């Protein structure tokens, strides 16, 4: 069932529709909490609280974006509030890759098995600065549209694109160095 149908059923007190919405988004939101740096327990509480609120307020709920963007956005706000963090998004510096000494923290075995490039790619993504990593993971791992990411994080779609571009550029540079 489409989200929009689920929502209109939830507004008419349909618990089954509510349960479906929960089960549909739980794995994604739980993964998203992890991206945001919340530990498992916090993440689970935050998701449960959000859905509890959603049920309580179901009749007067106004969602101006999609439900997906709404849920992600609400999770982000709650995690940030919990962590007492500012919500400013910082851009990955253009020359991020060259700032870092490369190769020093590679275990000899990893260098030996560097053909395990897949693992290396995961590692490179992990090295990205927090916001760049978050946006890249939202696009790459969760397959969210640029527009959706922009809505969730309250930034412009162009900023989203630039982040993704720079994140990929960083991974490419790291991959290139792996070959040399």
- Interface ranges with another protein (CB under 8 A): 13, 15-16, 19, 22-23, 26-28, 30-31, 44, 47-48, 51-52, 55-56, 59, 117-118, 121-122, 139-143, 161-162, 164-165, 168-169, 171-173, 175-176
Q: Which long-range contacts (CB under 8 A, 24 or more apart) does 41-47 make?
A: 42/79, 42/82, 43/79, 46/75, 46/78, 46/79, 46/82, 47/75
Listing DSSP states for 90-157 in one string gives PPPPTTHHHHSPPSTT--HHHHHTTT-HHHHHHHHHHHS-HHHHHHHHHHHTS---HHHHHHHHTS-H
CB of 63 to another protein, least distance (A): 20
Q: CB 29 → another protein: shortest distance, Å?
A: 10
| C-beta closer to another protein: residue 114 or 165 | 165
> What are 55's two structure tokens?
């049920």
Output 87 or 147, the one with its CB closest to another protein.
147
Closest to another protein by CB, 16 vs 90, is 16
CB 168 to another protein: min, Å: 6
Judged by CB, which is closer to another protein: 85, or 172? Answer: 172
Query: What kind and span of H or E run contains 170?
Result: helix 157-179
Taking the complex as a whole, the smallest distance from the CB of residue 86 to another protein amounts, in Å, to 26
């Amino acid at each position: 069932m489409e989200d929009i149908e689920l929502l209109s059923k939830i507004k008419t007190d349909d618990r089954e529709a509510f349960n479906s919405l929960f089960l549909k988004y739980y794995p994604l939101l739980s993964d998203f909490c992890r991206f945001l740096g919340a530990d498992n327990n916090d993440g689970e509480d935050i998701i449960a609280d959000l859905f509890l609120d959603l049920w309580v307020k179901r009749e007067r709920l106004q969602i101006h974006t999609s439900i997906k963007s709404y849920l992600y956005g609400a999770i982000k706000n709650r995690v940030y509030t919990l962590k007492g963090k500012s919500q400013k998004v910082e851009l990955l510096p253009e020359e991020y890759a060259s700032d870092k000494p490369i190769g020093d923290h590679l275990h000899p075995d990893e260098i030996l098995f560097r053909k395990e490039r897949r693992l290396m790619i995961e590692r490179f993504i992990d090295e990205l600065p927090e916001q760049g990593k978050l946006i890249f993971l939202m696009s790459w791992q969760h397959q969210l549209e640029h527009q959706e990411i922009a809505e969730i994080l309250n930034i412009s779609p162009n900023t989203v694109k630039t982040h993704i571009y720079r994140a990929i550029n960083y991974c490419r540079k790291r991959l290139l160095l792996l070959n040399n």
